[in-house]
């Protein structure tokens, strides 16, 4: 990641490193370095460089890089991660020769600094820190001031002329060492830290309140009492020999790689155990040696906004831990310019050097010791989505990086932060303070929403019609609820996963959604919802707020605000000229579109969704689900008539009513899409989804249709399925009831003809779902093509259209060669393909899939969020190969939810798809992910094992 072209090696003494060295892959580096276990660094020279993170860990590699750049890094050395691996697999023994190496490096440090390790007069003190390849903040151990004992502390007193400082260093060292290396820790959760207990007792004895009020003598006594406690409780003596201290510390740091905390963290973050940690041994510098000393942390730009300002804070006469402890409040870095212009000037120069060198926003730690500046750490700085974009765009404009590099500086998922409404920050903080956080669910549809509870879709609609904001709260949602979902600000469900009906539809609509919120006990009959583990009982009409980005559910209202990008693109309430954040987004997207190979389409069922899709940059509709249209107020009636029809004639009569309504929908979509391709899927869900489930609704429908309610109930009973996912749906409907496909094809082509005759373009692609056998597709394609010809003849117009299929059951993928003989395009329905390939129902998977990923690491990620590349992905590759083998120009896309997942988008690029299609609000994310893919990101990733 970092540019190491200007790094200098220890051997080369200031000569630039050979380019090849920096570019060598880790394995080759490892091989070349097998004999070297210890890597030295000091200002101006280093054995390592920033490219050697695998071997030196992040901290060690960047220390080497900074040292080679000539920055004021205290001298030290890094023991490689390979030693850690050796240590772990050889009963905590070290490779032969390590001790001699360490000895040699200590000698070099002694020479460099003119101090000696263990010397009673002018002792060299060191820190021992872990540093793994990936950042594991707070997970591993650090020991400072190592080398102190009853003799050397006298030397430190002599050096510093400050006994209190020296004894404070000493007692801190004994305390850390006693804890980390010798294991003197609280024995139960209720016990306080034994060292802190001794300090408290001492302060009590002395009648003081603050540590800083303890005298040098008090601190000296503390050292003795600490050692006594260690001996007494751990049965070991504190080692006075600095070499013993050092090896104890090195062993503890290597050992910490395998402690429970570290193992748990690695699991959560997918960090392989085999990586190991490095150990950094470095000369101590002290920020607490008087008022000309100090310590600080800084970012080379503002990590929250990305603004190109030096951003950070510092504290004089303090050590890093004082800053963390929060006893004194650090000052903004700008104040340093006033307090110490020389040091600030040095720092500002280092800031420039690092940004030029790394061409990145860096996060640094520094210490000032008696007026001298030392650099202790540097790494790439974490940032918000907004900052990431601003930094990337600015750095391109500053010519630090190329646009392509700028693109790689923004994680596709970070764009989400730019698109979603959020709670007004202060209001949310207040809600948390007021303990209004009720529970958490799955963050299924990002953004923030607030409103009154509605338990029924109709109530939500009615309330919205009255101008109220509502949150639709359901055990789970079904297609019946769609209009209620559209009317609501957000959706909250007690059941269902990240790709449940609620989650899928919410994301497509751009609605906020918290799904699978187990703690909710919803009682529709009582119009009430309880929250397990609390006394809270909420009624219909009560206010709640949900955060679909975090999954949080709050009691009461919390004010929200739409994002700037949305105000420009969707609401059109903001002039782009006055939207600097939008302009940055727009610039980044332009670069992304220049790089990417994949086309990006949107899943959209209605003209308004199409408008959003285009605003977000969609190049077509990849999935128009015709069934969603059937839930429109005027359409559900004829649809139900169609389903309840007893004869072909009755069914045809109902379909005849639906035809003009569908035609109108399609016409609206074609006009909105302005000639971009529109993939329309013929009816897919099982018919029972369209019938009412509540007795009252059934009776109303019976009354409306003038038929006995028994007929409706019997039909619903007859349509009941054990596994509707694998039931009478998809093309199976169109094959048994060809008149439905015929009506839909007619609506599509008549709509297209009307648009074309009005002088506009329309390009329908008719997609047949759930095809497992080429004959299924053939039967349906025959109908579609026949109707297309009929309409073209009737309307005297020539239409450009295609007929293709979803690949969403394994048999479709396995026989893709035969299917490509009929299909003009494929679209992977990876939701269903994942369900069938894995044999997992996404609606029922929560009970085991979460532990599968979190506890058992069976899958790296939820396969419904990111494509299971080994299993499902293998079938996709097969389908692409077989399909293109028969029809080389076959257009292939994906229209499952995975189309909006960056890793999946990259996979789709890698296997040669033509486009991805996702919900409108994820189109920008897919565009950026596609650009990343074209730039080679993820090319070596794949299955973990």
**Least distance in angstroms from the C-beta of 870 to its own copies:** 6
Element (DSSP H or E) covering residue 520: strand 520-523
Could you say whether residue 724 binds its own copies (CB under 8 A)? yes
d(CA 72, CA 97): 30
Query: Of 561 and 870, which has the nearer Cβ to its own copies?
Result: 870
Could you say whether residue 350 binds its own copies (CB under 8 A)? no
**Least distance in angstroms from the C-beta of 412 to its own copies:** 27
Taking CB under 8 A as the binding criterion, the range among 125-133, 208-216, 747-755, 842-850 that sits at the site for its own copies is: 842-850
User: What's the angle, vertex CA 157, arms to CA 155 and CA 161, rounded to 5?
Assistant: 130
DSSP 303-320: TTT--SS-EEEEEES--H
Query: Of 51 and 496, which has the nearer Cβ to its own copies?
Result: 496
Taking CB under 8 A as the binding criterion, the range among 218-226, 653-661, 841-849, 892-900 that sits at the site for its own copies is: 841-849
Could you say whether residue 844 binds its own copies (CB under 8 A)? yes
Query: Of 298 and 818, which has the nearer Cβ to its own copies?
Result: 818
Query: Of 356 and 775, which has the nearer Cβ to its own copies?
Result: 775
315-to-167, 312, 382, 595 alpha-carbon distances in Å = 21, 11, 22, 45
Query: Of 72 and 863, which has the nearer Cβ to its own copies?
Result: 863
Taking CB under 8 A as the binding criterion, the range among 333-341, 442-450, 594-602, 847-855 that sits at the site for its own copies is: 847-855
User: In this chain, which of 725, 761, 886, 935 binds its own copies, going by CB under 8 A?
Assistant: 725
Residue with tokens 């200031």: 14
User: In this chain, which of 213, 650, 721, 794 binds its own copies, going by CB under 8 A?
Assistant: 721
Two structure tokens written together for 14: 């200031």
Q: Which of 82, 98, 130, 102 lies closest to 280 in space, CA to CA?
A: 130
Beta bridge partners of 512: 490
**Cβ neighbours of residue 73 closer than 8 Å, sequence gap 6 or more:** 41, 42, 43, 63, 66, 67, 374, 375, 376
Could you say whether residue 313 binds its own copies (CB under 8 A)? no
Residue with tokens 């009590």: 204
User: In this chain, which of 590, 848, 885, 942 binds its own copies, going by CB under 8 A?
Assistant: 848
**Least distance in angstroms from the C-beta of 376 to its own copies:** 41
Q: Which of 548, 366, 341 lies closest to 447 in space, CA to CA?
A: 548
If DSSP codes are grouped into helix, strand and coil, which group holds residue 131?
strand
User: In this chain, which of 309, 703, 728, 854 binds its own copies, going by CB under 8 A?
Assistant: 728
User: In this chain, which of 209, 798, 847, 940 binds its own copies, going by CB under 8 A?
Assistant: 847
Taking CB under 8 A as the binding criterion, the range among 234-242, 288-296, 700-708, 869-877 that sits at the site for its own copies is: 869-877
d(CA 312, CA 771): 59
Query: Of 11 and 775, which has the nearer Cβ to its own copies?
Result: 775
Taking CB under 8 A as the binding criterion, the range among 47-55, 362-370, 509-517, 719-727 that sits at the site for its own copies is: 719-727
User: In this chain, which of 263, 611, 735, 792 binds its own copies, going by CB under 8 A?
Assistant: 735
Longest dimension (CA), the chain: 106
If DSSP codes are grouped into helix, strand and coil, which group holds residue 482?
helix
**Least distance in angstroms from the C-beta of 941 to its own copies:** 18
**Least distance in angstroms from the C-beta of 512 to its own copies:** 24
Could you say whether residue 852 binds its own copies (CB under 8 A)? yes
Two structure tokens written together for 440: 């958490």
Query: Of 434 and 856, which has the nearer Cβ to its own copies?
Result: 856
Q: Which of 33, 73, 27, 66 lies closest to 50 in space, CA to CA?
A: 66
Residues 130-149, one symbol each (x = binds its own copies by CB under 8 A, - = not), give --------------------
User: In this chain, which of 673, 683, 756, 875 binds its own copies, going by CB under 8 A?
Assistant: 875
Which one from 895, 898, 908, 932 is the annotated catalytic residue? 895
Residues 759-788, one symbol each (x = binds its own copies by CB under 8 A, - = not), give -----------x-xxxxx--x---------
Q: Which of 828, 813, 648, 677 lies closest to 740 in space, CA to CA?
A: 648
Residues 801-840, one symbol each (x = binds its own copies by CB under 8 A, - = not), give -------xxxx--xx--x-------------x--xxxxxx
Q: Which of 418, 389, 405 lies closest to 584 in space, CA to CA?
A: 389
Query: Of 380 and 735, which has the nearer Cβ to its own copies?
Result: 735
Could you say whether residue 843 binds its own copies (CB under 8 A)? yes
User: In this chain, which of 870, 884, 886, 910 binds its own copies, going by CB under 8 A?
Assistant: 870
User: In this chain, which of 841, 861, 884, 886 binds its own copies, going by CB under 8 A?
Assistant: 841
**Least distance in angstroms from the C-beta of 814 to its own copies:** 5
Query: Of 5 and 775, which has the nearer Cβ to its own copies?
Result: 775
Q: What is the 3 state secondary structure string of 729-752?
A: CCHHHHHHCHHHHHHHHHHHHHHH
User: Is the Cβ–Cβ distance between 362 and 299 less than 8 Å?
Assistant: yes
The phi-psi region of residue 401 (left if phi > 0; otherwise alpha if psi is between -120 and 50; otherwise beta) is beta
User: In this chain, which of 12, 824, 871, 886 binds its own copies, going by CB under 8 A?
Assistant: 871
Beta bridge partners of 455: none
Which one from 456, 501, 628, 688 is the annotated catalytic residue? 501
- Say whether 918 is catalytic: no
If DSSP codes are grouped into helix, strand and coil, which group holds residue 378?
strand
Taking CB under 8 A as the binding criterion, the range among 204-212, 392-400, 632-640, 724-732 that sits at the site for its own copies is: 724-732
| Long-range own/partner contacts, residues 614-617 (CB < 8 A, 24 or more apart) | 614/672, 614/673, 614/674, 614/676, 615/569, 615/570, 615/920, 616/569, 616/920, 616/921, 616/923, 616/924, 617/589, 617/593, 617/923, 617/924, 617/927
User: Is the Cβ–Cβ distance between 193 and 229 less than 8 Å?
Assistant: no
Could you say whether residue 705 binds its own copies (CB under 8 A)? no
**Least distance in angstroms from the C-beta of 856 to its own copies:** 6
- The sign of the CA dihedral 292, 293, 299, 304 is negative
Two structure tokens written together for 334: 């700008």
Query: Of 16 and 874, which has the nearer Cβ to its own copies?
Result: 874
Residue with tokens 């694998």: 726
**Least distance in angstroms from the C-beta of 683 to its own copies:** 14
- Say whether 501 is catalytic: yes
Residues in the interface with its own copies (CB under 8 A) total 52
Taking CB under 8 A as the binding criterion, the range among 94-102, 207-215, 452-460, 863-871 that sits at the site for its own copies is: 863-871
Query: Of 576 and 727, which has the nearer Cβ to its own copies?
Result: 727
Query: Of 224 and 856, which has the nearer Cβ to its own copies?
Result: 856
**Strand ranges (E), 187-328:** 277-283, 294-299, 311-316
User: Is the Cβ–Cβ distance between 92 and 287 less than 8 Å?
Assistant: no
DSSP 549-571: TTTEEEES---EE--HHHHHHTS
Q: End-to-end CA distance of the chain, in Å?
A: 25
Could you say whether residue 716 binds its own copies (CB under 8 A)? no
Could you say whether residue 26 binds its own copies (CB under 8 A)? no
**Least distance in angstroms from the C-beta of 90 to its own copies:** 25
User: In this chain, which of 858, 885, 936, 942 binds its own copies, going by CB under 8 A?
Assistant: 858
DSSP state of 898: G
d(CA 762, CA 767): 16
Query: Of 569 and 809, which has the nearer Cβ to its own copies?
Result: 809
Could you say whether residue 750 binds its own copies (CB under 8 A)? no
**Which residues are known to be catalytic?**
501, 895
Residues that bind its own copies (CB under 8 A): 721-728, 730, 732, 735-736, 770, 772-776, 779, 808-811, 814-815, 818, 832, 835-841, 843-845, 847-848, 851-852, 856-859, 868, 870-872, 874-875, 945
């Amino acid at each position: 990641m970092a540019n190491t072209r200007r790094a200098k090696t220890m051997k080369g003494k200031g000569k630039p490193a050979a380019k090849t060295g920096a570019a060598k892959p880790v394995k080759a580096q490892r091989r070349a370095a097998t004999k070297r276990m210890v890597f030295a660094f000091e200002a101006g020279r280093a054995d390592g460089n920033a490219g050697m993170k695998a071997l030196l860990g992040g901290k060690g590699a960047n220390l080497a890089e900074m040292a080679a750049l000539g920055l004021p890094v205290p001298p030290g050395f890094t023991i490689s991660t390979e030693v850690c691996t050796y240590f772990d697999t050889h009963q905590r023994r070290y490779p032969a020769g390590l001790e001699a190496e360490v000895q040699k490096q200590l000698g070099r440090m002694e020479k460099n600094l003119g101090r000696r390790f263990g010397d009673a007069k002018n002792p060299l003190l060191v820190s021992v820190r872990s540093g793994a390849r990936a950042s594991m903040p707070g997970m591993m151990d650090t020991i400072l001031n190592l080398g102190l004992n009853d003799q050397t502390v006298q030397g430190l007193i002599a050096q510093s002329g400050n006994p209190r400082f020296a004894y404070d260093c000493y007692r801190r060292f004994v305390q850390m060492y006693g804890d980390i290396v010798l294991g003197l820790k609280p024995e139960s959760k209720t016990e306080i830290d034994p060292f802190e207990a001794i300090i408290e007792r001492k302060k009590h004895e002395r009648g003081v309140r603050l540590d800083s009020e303890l005298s040098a003598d008090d601190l000296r006594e503390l050292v003795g009492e600490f050692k006594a406690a260690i001996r007494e409780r751990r049965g070991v003596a504190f080692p006075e020999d600095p070499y013993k201290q050092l090896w104890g510390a090195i062993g503890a740091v290597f050992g910490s790689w395998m402690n429970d905390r570290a193992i748990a963290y690695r699991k959560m973050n997918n960090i392989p155990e085999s990586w190991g940690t490095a150990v950094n041994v470095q000369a101590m510098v002290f920020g607490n040696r008087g008022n000309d000393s100090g310590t600080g942390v800084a970012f080379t730009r503002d990590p929250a906004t990305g603004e190109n300002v030096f951003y950070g804070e510092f504290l004089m006469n303090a050590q890093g831990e004082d800053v963390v402890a929060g006893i004194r409040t650090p000052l903004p870095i700008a104040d340093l310019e006033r307090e110490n212009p020389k040091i600030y000037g040095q720092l500002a120069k280092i800031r420039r050097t690092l940004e030029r060198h790394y061409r990145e926003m860096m996060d640094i730690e520094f210490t000032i010791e008696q007026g001298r500046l030392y650099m202790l750490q540097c790494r790439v700085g974490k940032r918000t989505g907004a900052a990431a974009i601003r930094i990337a765009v600015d750095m391109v404009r500053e010519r630090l990086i190329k646009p392509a590099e700028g693109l790689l500086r923004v994680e596709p998922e970070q764009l989400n932060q730019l698109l979603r409404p959020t709670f007004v920050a202060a209001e949310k903080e207040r809600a948390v303070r007021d303990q209004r956080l009720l529970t958490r669910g799955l963050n299924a549809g990002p953004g923030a929403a607030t409103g009154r509870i509605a338990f029924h879709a109709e109530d939500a609609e009615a309330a919205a019609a009255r101008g109220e904001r509502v949150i639709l709260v359901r055990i789970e949602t079904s297609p019946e609820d769609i209009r209620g979902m559209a009317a609501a600000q957000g959706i909250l469900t007690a059941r269902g996963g990240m790709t449940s009906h609620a989650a899928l539809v919410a994301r497509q609509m751009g609605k906020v959604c918290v799904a699978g919120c187990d703690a909710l006990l919803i009682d529709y009959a009582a119009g009430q919802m309880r929250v397990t583990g609390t006394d809270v009982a909420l009624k219909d009409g009560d206010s709640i707020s949900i955060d679909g980005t975090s999954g949080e559910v709050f009691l009461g209202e919390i004010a929200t605000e739409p994002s700037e990008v949305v105000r420009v693109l969707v609401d059109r309430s903001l002039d782009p000229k006055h939207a600097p954040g939008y302009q940055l987004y727009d610039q980044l997207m332009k670069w992304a579109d220049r790089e990417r190979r994949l086309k990006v389409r949107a899943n959209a069922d209605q003209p308004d969704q199409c408008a959003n899709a285009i605003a977000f940059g969609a190049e077509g509709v990849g999935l128009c689900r015709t069934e969603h249209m059937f839930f429109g107020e005027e359409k559900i009636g004829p649809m139900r008539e169609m389903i309840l029809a007893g004869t072909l004639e009755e069914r045809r009569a109902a379909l005849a009513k639906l035809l003009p309504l569908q035609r109108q929908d399609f016409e609206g979509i074609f006009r909105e899409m302005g000639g971009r391709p529109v993939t329309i899927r013929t009816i897919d869900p099982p018919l029972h989804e369209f019938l009412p489930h509540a007795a009252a609704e059934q009776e109303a429908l019976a009354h409306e249709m003038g038929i006995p309610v028994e007929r409706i109930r019997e039909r619903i009973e007859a349509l009941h399925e054990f596994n509707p996912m694998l039931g009478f749906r998809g093309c199976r409907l169109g094959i048994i009831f060809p008149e439905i496909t015929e009506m839909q094809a007619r609506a599509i082509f008549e709509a297209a003809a009307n648009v074309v005759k009005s002088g506009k373009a329309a390009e329908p692609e008719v997609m047949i779902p759930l095809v497992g056998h080429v004959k299924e597709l053939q039967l349906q394609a025959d109908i579609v093509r026949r109707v297309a010809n009929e309409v073209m003849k009737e309307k005297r117009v020539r239409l450009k259209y295609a007929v293709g299929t979803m690949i969403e059951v394994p048999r479709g993928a396995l026989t893709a060669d035969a299917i490509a003989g009929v299909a003009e395009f494929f679209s992977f329905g990876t939701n269903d393909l994942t369900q069938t390939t894995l044999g997992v129902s996404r609606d029922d998977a929560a009970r085991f899939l979460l532990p599968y990923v979190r506890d058992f690491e069976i899958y790296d990620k939820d396969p419904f969020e990111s494509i299971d590349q080994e299993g499902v992905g293998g079938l996709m590759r097969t389908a692409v190969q077989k399909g293109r083998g028969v029809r080389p120009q076959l257009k292939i896309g994906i229209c499952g939810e995975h189309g909006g997942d960056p890793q999946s988008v990259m996979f789709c690029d890698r296997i040669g798809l033509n486009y991805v299609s996702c919900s409108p609000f994820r189109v920008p994310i897919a565009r950026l992910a596609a650009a990343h893919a074209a730039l080679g990101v993820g090319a070596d990733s794949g299955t973990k094992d």
